[in-house]
Structure formats: structure tokens, C-alpha cells
Amino acid sequence: MTDVMAAGLGRMNNGGQRPRADPSAHATGVMSTKYHPREIEARWSAQWAEQELYEFQEHAARPKFYWLTMLPYPSGDLHIGHWYAMAPSDAGARFKRMNGYNVFFPIGFDAFGLPAENAAIKNNTHPKIWTYANIERMRRQLRSMGTMFAWKNEIISCDPDYYKWSQWTFLKFLERGIAYREHAPVDFCPSCNTTLAREQVIGEERVCERCETPVIKKALNQWKYRITDYAEQLLKFEDIEWPEAVRTMQTNWIGRSEGVEFDLAVDGRPGQTLRVFTTRPDTIFGLTFCVLSPEHPLVREVTTPAQRGAVEAYQAAAERKSEIERMADTQEQDGVFTGAYALHPLTGANVPIWIADYVLMGYGTGAIMAVPAHDTRDYAFALRYRLPVPPVIRPVGSAGANGEGLELPYTAKEGSEMCNSGRFDGLAWPRSFEAVVKELERRGIGERKVNYRLRDWLISRQRMWGTPIPVIYCKTCGMVPVPYEHLPVRLPDDAVFKPTGESPLKYHKAFLHVDCPCCGGPAERETDTMDTFICSSWYMYAYLSPYWKKGQRITADDVPWNRGVVDPWLPIDQYTGGIEHAILHLMYLRFYAMALADVGVMPPKAPVRRLFNQGMILGEDNEKMSKSRGNVVNPDALVRDYGADTVRAYLMFIGPWDQGGPWNPKGIEGMARFMNDVWYLGTPVEAEAAPAQDAEAARQLTGALHQTLAKVSEDYLAFKYNTLLAALMSFRNQLKAARPTLQGTPAWNTAIDGLLLMLAPVAPFITEELWQRRRPGESIHLQPWPRHDPALARTDAVTMVIQINGKFRDRMEVSPDVKAEEMQTLALERPKVQEALANRTVRKVIPVGNKLVNIVVQ
């Protein structure tokens, strides 16, 4: 522990000890002023805010473009991860704006959540105070980043005028049957003291998404949203350009599988049936036993007295097992015989009914037909308890007519055919599936069924700092929704925070006790609050008319935003954010849009057209940044040393944005040098000697400008900031080389303007400063993107490569319009080529465009 800390501190000291005393220091050249990023950045931040340069313009002649970055949680300080997420997003939005779009780029705070409550307990203050103090600090930091946020449209999700509408969505969903309350076993985090949605339980170890504590099961009365009703819709990704990875993850999470559900009669119990789900009806003749989940209600009914003791012991053990940590490596299939038998639906054979915890109550019917020859789990189970394992499918055309010699378990679908299955023998997949399903349907004991892995969204949280669920429980009237006119159900400002692990709302008398809206009698409020993912499921619409009907009494007919503004601005044209939200936020957001469309407040179209997921910025050690590792990079310190422009640009230069990558503390020096060069190149020079006329050099510089422009414009659209910056650096190198001959000429000035314009989205401060020094009073951020002229980008000579048998031999300059025959002649004339061709016969010469000739010999 001590070692780790010492190492961590050492690293931090090292990282912080090299402030650049004067980052603008460079020796040569005529200098008017030095580059002082801190001074110019402070000045421009203030000025842009004052001029409202970036605020929302509902109507404009330019086409609308809704550019969105995921809203941050106000944790207190802006982390380098926030910079990595937001600075490139901002650059993209700025680029769109320069390209003639009316860009809306809002920001807000996802302000409910547990850290505020923990801080409240620790400091004995209200979470609201902690949260708003953090927001104030983060607003300043976000401004220092140079982002073009439309601050006037900011929303804060813990504001009652926001969560009033979150409550409204709950009431509407309740009316439509999308919200419901259920008593069932749910995932509970003993550290956060609250239940969690299935999506918030991570991995095999089943740990809490927030604190990594293993979750336990608890049976509780909880509110849920019927997201499973939208499973089919959620599987469709029409009209949206989302990364393949996200679509695959969501598709897998939803986990659609097609199969059949059918009944088996229980032997000796007329009328008693056992329902199972299977995706492999083609293997039904291999059914040699059934397995019930230990929690299955039928277990009590069918268990014979002789087996009762063993069965109950197993049930108790299974229950305990799900409450204790689930060990990864103990996936053994064990179970207990109930003593009862079911009848095979097609053969009438007796098959024993077992219970085993590898069958889950929450999936399908909680009961399975076991076909040990063709399912790995059933196979393991059968081996363990010496149950028969008859093969009933085999690879098409395989030798053994009845599957003899088949390696078991054989689980393939494609290329399999039925055997040992009476009149079904020889039927190949997928006809085998169809035939058995038809037979079960004909007998009236089963039907096709689609099952999903997706569960309904559990939204109740036993925490205080969240949106109160607007329902009241009355002894006489039962559950009563809070009338719309009474919204919002406000969180009390005087709740007492104690480390009891329970929500202070339960002990807040004024909050808890309420008159029933129905009968006027004494009643109690729901004290659970909503999952904070609800706040972030609709904030993108709220941005367009923030705190709609603020302070006003609302009715059932109101909608949560101004549709006149919101409808024309949908969908969100570009959304950017971390891949870690691939399932949670990005699936909930789609669900919310679908459900709200059903409620009738939104057009039924995809809410987010284009999505981009950035990668994660890692510590110097290539590990995830964390305080315990001591590899956290502090953006404020970097801004102090290098300026925001350099930090922004360096983060974009590290590598492809979607890839993320480790922080290299030395690497930023290169970007600082680049900014210094830009400063030096872009600062107007007074009274220079009359520039020499060098038409050829001027043409070359103009060519370089337009080549760079083509590359940079293309890269902005594809979020390829790293290569865009590399192109700008190359251009910088060319400018430095051309400076002695061209500085002050029209070609030079155009090139410098181009450099500043192309860099403006990435580095808004330095470009604004230099632009306005050249043209006082004009913001660079209101300039149109420079037009690319392919004619000017054209060079008058291209390099042609000469290969012999595909190997590089020589290169030469040729005209861009060179003809194929000419290329061949030129290539064969080269001395190096002649030399290499001595005593060899040329068989073929292959010219490629105007860039390469391959000579094939012998």
C-alpha cells in the first residue's frame, strides 16, 4: 500500500514539475509579442460570453444542426476524460458551424446521484449545496476549455422545473401501462443501499456498476418500465448511423431467440402440466428428463414425500447461493430429483423431473426439456446423474444411421438432420424445427414463442437524491398517482442525512405524510426515487426549451417541452459520447423516444441520427486513470502550463478519437511548439522589407494550402483529428520554409488566413486572437470555411515510381498528364533500370495511373 502510494506521488510530482516558465520563448525572428495563452484565453472566453456568440438561434436562414455531447455528472472538477470527450466534439460542432449550419451545441448537468448524497452524509450538508457548488466550478472550467456551448439553454436535472417533467413522463407511462409495480427478487447493491437495473449489474461477478460491490438478490416491491414491450422495435436500427459495435451490443443484450413453448403432462396428476421453452424442438425425441428452476412454483406441488427433504435442502442452498457471491468457476450442473415424472409429449415415455439451479426462473418458463445428447449443460448433468443420452440428430449424411459414433454433445443446427425420431427421421435443419413445431401445435399443446434476454427496466432507487416517484399509497384507495396539477413532488430542503443506509425521505414526516388525492384521508408518499438514467433519457429535448412552463401549474394536457421548437429541431444530427454507455444510456434513450412517441408527444422517428463513441484516455502507464494508481492527469495544471488550445489539440492528436490511448506527458511539448509556430507565423509583421517576387514559390505555397484544405476538410467530417492536425503541422513546416521568400506577399497572407481558419475549430483562442489582430473586430468563428480549389491544389510534377518485378528500383518526376506509353519509355531509359535489366528479357510493363510503372522480367 505504502509502496503504491509512494510510486503514485512520485509520478504526480514528476508530471507537475515542469511548467514552462515562458512557453512562447523562441529565439529567432522578428517578434512583436509573445504567446501568452492564459491572457488571451481569459479575454476571449469573457468576450464570447458577453457577445453571446454561441447561443441558440431557433430560426436562421442556415439549415439546423443539432450537435450533442453527453451531459456530464457534476462531480466537482473537470477531469481530463471530460476534455477528451468534449473538446473534439466541440471542434466538430465548430467545423459544422463554419460550414454554414445553424448549430445548436448545448450543455447541462446530470445532477442527481449518489456521490452528492455521500458527500452530504460526510459533510452534513444538503446534496443540493454540494451539487450546485460543483456545477458552478465546472461551468468555469468548461468555459476555460473554449467550448461553444449554448449556455442559455443549460438544464440541470435536479432542478424541480426539470424533474417535474421526469415525473410527468412517469405518470404518462403509468397511464399507458408502461410503468408498473411488482414484488419480485431484484438486484440490490449493499454498498449503495439501493436496487439496480439489470443493466447496472456488471459481468460474471455481478458487481454494481458504480462501486463494484457484488450485488445480492432481494425480493422487493419495485417500479419498472416495460422496456421488454419494445424489444422488437429496439432491434431495428433504421435511419440511424450508429457504430456497428453499439448496435451489436444492444442486439446481444436484447438477446432475441425463437423457439417453442409446450406443455408436458405430469404423470399421475391429471390436469397438471409443466410448460417448457426450447429453441431446439428438432431434438425433442432426445428428451430424457425435465429440469425446473429451484424457485419454480410447481416444485412444491410435484415433489414426492420421499424427495421432499432433499429438494427443500437444495432450494435453500440455491437461494443462499444467489445471495452470496457467485463464483465464476463453479458452473457445475448439479440438482435433485423431485420424485415426479412428466410424460413425453410425442412418445408418452416417462421422464423424471429434476430441479437444478442452472435453470433460471427469470428466463423462458423457468423449466426446460433436457436433451443431454445435444446440449452441453444437459449433457454434463446427465453424466453426473447417469441419465440416458440418446442421440436424435446427426450431421447430414453421416455414417451411423442412429447417430452411432457421434461425438456428444452434438449441438449444431446447420447441417444436422433428425434420427431416432420415428417418422421425422431424415428431416434436416431448419425443416426439422418447423415439422416438430407443427406437430406440437396440431396436438394443441404448444406454440411458437419468441424469448428475450432483456428484462424490464427497474427504476426504483432507495436513495434521496433523485426524482421522487409521484405516487401515493392510501389505505382505502390503494396506489394513487399524484395529480398532474400537484407536480412537482419536491424533495425537501431540510432532510437529515445520516449514514444509516436508508433514504432520509422515509423519516421526513412532512414529505412522507400526505392527504390522499382521492379520498382526502391520511396516506403516504412513495419514498423511492427514480434511476438517474431517466433524467438523461429525455434531456436532449429539454435543452430546446429549458424548464418549460417554469413555476407554472401543469395539467394532464401539457407536454414537457415546446413542441413548436423541439419538433423541427429533431432528430439530433450528431451525438458524441463514451462507448461505456452503449447499452445503458443509449438503449434507454431509444426506449424513451419510442414510449414518448406512443404517449403522443414526439414524432415516431429515431431521436439520434448519427452517433460517435470516443475511446478512453488512459494514464501514462496505459492503465485506466484512478487516484489509487496515481496516474491521473490534471487538466487545470496543463491549461496553466500550456493553455487550453494546446491541451485540446494534443488530445485530438494522440490518435484516432474512437481509440483513446495513453497520455504521454512529453508528447504535448510537440503541440506546444506547434502553437508557438502558429503564433509566430500568424502575428502580423510591420514594416517588413518589400517582399521579393517569386511566382513559383508562391504557386507552390498556394498549392500546399489547397492540398491541406482538402485533407483537413475531409478529416473533420470523419472525426480524424489526428491526421488533420498532422496535415496542419506539415503545412506549418512548409510555411516556415517559405517564410524568408514569401512573407508579406498576397500568397503568404492567404496561406496564413487558411492556416488560422483550418485550425479555428481545434484551437479557438489562438486563432481568434491572431485573426482579430489581422482584422480587428471580426470573429474568426463567424467566418465561412475556406473554399477548396482543386485547380490550385494541382502540382505541376508528380513522382513516378519504377518497380522491377514489384520491387522499388527508381523514382522520377513527371508531368501529372503523362501518358502511359510515355511512362514506359521514360522508365526504361533510366540508367538504374537499364543496369538492373541487363541480360534479362522484359515480359510486360504495367503502368498504374501517373504514379507507378512495374516492369516484369523473365
Given the complex with RNA, which of 106 and 391 has the nearer CB atom? 391
Minimum CB separation of residue 852 from RNA in Å reads 4
For 481, the 3-state DSSP assignment is strand
Minimum CB separation of residue 275 from RNA in Å reads 11
Distances in Å between the Cα of 412 and the Cα atoms of 277, 393, 406 are: 19, 9, 12
Is 212 one of the binding residues for RNA (CB under 7 A)? Answer: no
Given the complex with RNA, which of 528 and 620 has the nearer CB atom? 620
Q: Which of residues 561-590 bind RNA (CB under 7 A)?
A: 579, 582-583
Minimum CB separation of residue 111 from RNA in Å reads 26
Exposed, middle or buried, 668 (CB in 10 Å: 0-12/13-18/19+)? buried
Binding flags for RNA, 745-774, as an x/- string (CB under 7 A): ------------------------------
Minimum CB separation of residue 465 from RNA in Å reads 25
Given the complex with RNA, which of 424 and 679 has the nearer CB atom? 679
Q: List 855's β-bridge partners, or say none.
A: 804, 845
Q: Looking at 76, 656, 691, 744, which residue binds RNA (CB under 7 A)?
A: 656
Which of the stretches 212-220, 539-547, 758-766, 798-806 binds RNA when contact is defined by CB under 7 A? 798-806
Is 203 one of the binding residues for RNA (CB under 7 A)? Answer: yes
Distance from C-alpha of 174 to C-alpha of 485, rounded to nearest angstrom: 16
Minimum CB separation of residue 804 from RNA in Å reads 9
Distance from C-alpha of 254 to C-alpha of 587, rounded to nearest angstrom: 10
Q: Which of residues 312-371 bind RNA (CB under 7 A)?
A: 328, 330-333, 357-366, 368-369
Distance from C-alpha of 445 to C-alpha of 805, rounded to nearest angstrom: 71
Distance from C-alpha of 417 to C-alpha of 87, rounded to nearest angstrom: 57
Given the complex with RNA, which of 613 and 745 has the nearer CB atom? 613
Identity of the amino acid at 18? R
Given the complex with RNA, which of 528 and 677 has the nearer CB atom? 677
Contacts of 835 (CB under 8 A, 6+ apart): none
**Under 8 Å between Cβ of 271 and 459:** no
Distance from C-alpha of 2 to C-alpha of 8, rounded to nearest angstrom: 10
> Crossing angle for the helix pair 721-742 and 667-682, nearest 10 degrees?
40
Minimum CB separation of residue 440 from RNA in Å reads 13
Minimum CB separation of residue 269 from RNA in Å reads 22
Given the complex with RNA, which of 30 and 60 has the nearer CB atom? 30
Is 661 one of the binding residues for RNA (CB under 7 A)? Answer: yes
What cell does 822 get? 510515355
Given the complex with RNA, which of 213 and 664 has the nearer CB atom? 664
**Under 8 Å between Cβ of 108 and 147:** no
231-240, long-range: CB within 8 Å, 24+ apart, which pairs? 231/256, 231/452, 231/454, 232/256, 233/594, 234/454, 234/587, 234/590, 234/591, 234/594, 238/606, 239/605, 239/606, 239/609, 240/606, 240/608, 240/609, 240/610, 240/611
For 461, the 3-state DSSP assignment is strand
Q: Looking at 226, 673, 699, 830, which residue binds RNA (CB under 7 A)?
A: 673
Minimum CB separation of residue 26 from RNA in Å reads 4
Which of the stretches 202-210, 267-275, 396-404, 541-549 binds RNA when contact is defined by CB under 7 A? 202-210
Q: Looking at 354, 379, 653, 785, which residue binds RNA (CB under 7 A)?
A: 653
Q: Looking at 319, 669, 694, 822, which residue binds RNA (CB under 7 A)?
A: 669
Q: Which of residues 22-81 bind RNA (CB under 7 A)?
A: 25-28
Which of the stretches 110-118, 482-490, 505-513, 725-733 binds RNA when contact is defined by CB under 7 A? 725-733
Distance from C-alpha of 669 to C-alpha of 646, rounded to nearest angstrom: 9
Distance from C-alpha of 707 to C-alpha of 419, rounded to nearest angstrom: 68
Is 626 one of the binding residues for RNA (CB under 7 A)? Answer: no
Which of the stretches 62-70, 481-489, 562-570, 846-854 binds RNA when contact is defined by CB under 7 A? 846-854
Q: Which of residues 675-694 bind RNA (CB under 7 A)?
A: 676-677
SS (H, E, C) 714-758: HHHHCCCHHHHHHHHHHHHHHHHHHHHHHCCCHHHHHHHHHHHHH
The candidate with the shortest Cα–Cα distance to 673, out of 614, 719, 733, is 733
Minimum CB separation of residue 250 from RNA in Å reads 9
Q: What is the dihedral of CA 98, 103, 104, 109, to 10 degrees?
A: -40
Q: Looking at 272, 273, 730, 779, which residue binds RNA (CB under 7 A)?
A: 730
Which of the stretches 18-26, 213-221, 596-604, 823-831 binds RNA when contact is defined by CB under 7 A? 18-26
Number of residues in contact with RNA under rule CB under 7 A: 88
Q: Looking at 386, 423, 627, 666, which residue binds RNA (CB under 7 A)?
A: 666
What cell does 50 get? 458577453
Q: Looking at 74, 259, 468, 635, which residue binds RNA (CB under 7 A)?
A: 259
Which of the stretches 558-566, 567-575, 597-605, 842-850 binds RNA when contact is defined by CB under 7 A? 842-850
Is 18 one of the binding residues for RNA (CB under 7 A)? Answer: yes
Minimum CB separation of residue 531 from RNA in Å reads 17
Is 643 one of the binding residues for RNA (CB under 7 A)? Answer: no
Identity of the amino acid at 795? T
Binding flags for RNA, 275-304, as an x/- string (CB under 7 A): --xxxx------------x-----------
Is 248 one of the binding residues for RNA (CB under 7 A)? Answer: yes
Is 257 one of the binding residues for RNA (CB under 7 A)? Answer: yes
Is 856 one of the binding residues for RNA (CB under 7 A)? Answer: yes
The candidate with the shortest Cα–Cα distance to 294, out of 324, 315, 264, 269, is 315
The candidate with the shortest Cα–Cα distance to 623, out of 614, 615, 632, is 632
Distance from C-alpha of 603 to C-alpha of 387, rounded to nearest angstrom: 57
The candidate with the shortest Cα–Cα distance to 643, out of 596, 685, 676, 683, is 676
Which of the stretches 140-148, 247-255, 414-422, 759-767 binds RNA when contact is defined by CB under 7 A? 247-255
Radius of gyration of the CA atoms of the chain, in A = 34
Determine phi and psi for 106, rounding to 5 degrees: -90, 170
Is 827 one of the binding residues for RNA (CB under 7 A)? Answer: no
Q: Which of residues 436-475 bind RNA (CB under 7 A)?
A: 451, 453
